[in-house]
Structure formats: structure tokens, C-alpha cells
Amino acid sequence: MATKLIPLADKLVLRPIVQEEVLSSGIVIPDTAKEKPNQGEVIAVGPGRRDDDGKIIPMEVAVGDRVLYAKYTGQEIKVENEELIVLSERDLLCKVQV
């Protein structure tokens, strides 16, 4: 049985995108020498946050969007041997168009 994460309010779940880094000389930078990725794919979104009147403000991102997020934000979790990040929409910096 697969675990399904359902974010609440303005939270979302990301799958970090790790890009292999190769220098112009052809040298591959190993994972241990790189910083953590700050780009991810949205795999689940909450309904949005509520304003002062109780109305839901919809999320600006959707499942499948690629986003950049601020470093040192969110909660890293491991679900079924997969590293995921749960964070608030306000911790996103921008969408990435590929």
C-alpha cells in the first residue's frame, strides 16, 4: 500500500531535483561536495491559506510545476525510501519553465 501525503493549508510537497554538475573540463562534481539542491518538482499541494475573512486564497503552484525554493527551509522527510520536502508556499522563490 502506497503512502499518500495530503498537505494542509498553504503547504506543499516537493521532490528535490538533483542535477549532476559537470565542469567545462569534464570533471563531475560528486554529491558529497555539492550543496543541497534548491530546485524541486511539486508532487502535492494544499488547498491554500485562509484570509482574515475565512476565504481560501488558492495556491499559485500546481502538481507538476518545477520551482526554486529558499535554502534551509521546509521539513525534509523520507517516505518509502524517497527524500521529500514539505514547505510553505511562502518559501518558494519562483516557478521554473523548462
Number of domain units in the chain: 1
Q: Which residues form the domain of 89? A: 11-96
Handedness of CA 96, 15, 90, 12 (dihedral sign): positive
Q: What is the pLDDT of residues 30-70, one digit of tens each?
A: 555 456 668 999 999 999 999 999 999 999 999 999 999 98
4 domain-assigned: no
44 domain-assigned: yes
5 domain-assigned: no
Whole-model pTM? 0.79
Q: What is the pLDDT of residues 6-35, one digit of tens each?
A: 999 999 999 998 766 665 666 666 555 456
Whichever domain contains 82, its CATH number is 2.30.33.40
27: region left, alpha or beta (phi > 0 left; psi from -120 to 50 alpha) = beta
